[in-house]
Amino acid sequence: RAHLENQFDTAGINQTKHRILLEVDVSVAILLPGFNTATQVSNAFTVAETVIVGTVPESYTYFSNTGDQADDARELILNKG
């Protein structure tokens, strides 16, 4: 069985890495005199990869959801600095 997968990852400010993967699942059986076994093997291969670049903003601020940073940011925005 084989199927294509899309994967999107962040690659920076307004940049996204897009990968197309071919995922292959194969059942393998080994037959020897007096012994046999079967297993499943899975692997993924990158078919294509590109970075989608958007416009970069003139300023960038990151605030975590933990701690008092959200309250500090709200106060800065409402009081305009």
The per-residue DSSP string of the chain comes to -EEEEEEEEEEETTEEEEEEEEEEEEEEEEEETTEEEEEEEEEEEEEEEEEEE-PPPS------SSTTHHHHHHHHHHTT-
Tell me the C-alpha distance between 52 and 15, whole Å: 6
Domain extent listing, the chain: 2-78
- Token pair, residue 39, equals 């297993």
Considering the entire predicted model, what is its pTM? 0.56
Q: What is the pLDDT of residues 38-79, one digit of tens each?
A: 999 999 999 999 999 988 777 766 666 665 656 666 666 776
